[in-house]
Amino acid sequence: MAASTVQLDFDKWLSVKLKSLNTDESIFGDYIKGILEGEESQDEKIEALEGILVEISSTDGMTQNEICQEILKQWDQCRAAAREEKTDETVAVDIQIARIMEQQALCVVPQKKTTEEERRLKQSILSQYAQVSDGEEGIDDEEGGYDSGEDRVLSRNTNAEDVAKLEKLKKESLRLESQKKKDKDKEDREKQKQLQLDRKEKEKKRTQKGEKKR
């Protein structure tokens, strides 16, 4: 969620920037973001951006390289903000897991104390009235231990399930985000290739027209 918010902030900035250059942001915006999200080096990204911006006639008094540097700088700032927010979310999940484990420990300890108190009280009554034999006393103790043990197991299982669900949710969120990025990168690379082919085709037509005029 945080990453998508930062992405929207960059999209808004890029849209305003392209409009100031009298450029159709709905067309060039996707190509530019495809380059920025790629795995290429900084220099390769600048070269690719310049290949797109060469189609822009108005540069608002800036060189194409300066515009590329400005776009890259804004992109890096947004990415840094996204990583920071993602780290905060991860810490929040870890804190929640720690709290659940702490509650689990607090639930187990009082149950042990209660069990020991009940056992002492039972032994005191049996000793006072001598109504139950040693064998029966042993059976009662075993039953009492079984009940309390079952309660502790149920408590631990419930809290362990909560922790497992949080961990599973965290892993699934990271997996979906990674897959979404891979799909987006693939789509953007295909768009970039198509743009380059279109640009070459335009250049070829210009050359052919020039030769015909001669």
- Each residue's pLDDT tens digit in the chain (214 positions)? 444 565 678 889 988 888 888 888 887 888 888 999 888 888 899 888 888 887 766 666 778 888 889 999 999 998 888 888 777 666 666 677 767 777 766 665 555 555 777 777 778 777 766 554 555 445 445 445 545 555 655 666 777 777 778 788 888 878 888 888 888 878 877 877 787 777 777 777 777 766 666 6
User: Looking at residue 73, what is its pLDDT?
Assistant: 92
What is the total count of domains within the chain? 1
Give pLDDT, residue 146.
47
Nearest to 123 by CA among 108, 111, 138: 138
What interhelical angle do 42-53 and 134-213 show, nearest 10?
50
For position 75, what pLDDT does the model report? 92
Are 71 and 46 within 8 A, CB to CB? no
Phi, psi angles (nearest 5°) of residue 21: -100, 10
Compute the distance between CA of residue 72 and CA of residue 40 in angstroms, rounded to an integer. Answer: 13
What domain range includes position 101?
A: 2-213
Helices and strands: H and E segment counts in the chain: 5, 0
pTM: 0.39
pLDDT at 2: 47
Please tell me whether residue 20 adopts helix, strand or coil conformation: helix
Predicted local confidence at residue 134, as pLDDT: 52
Judge whether 13 and 74 are in contact, CB under 8 Å.
yes
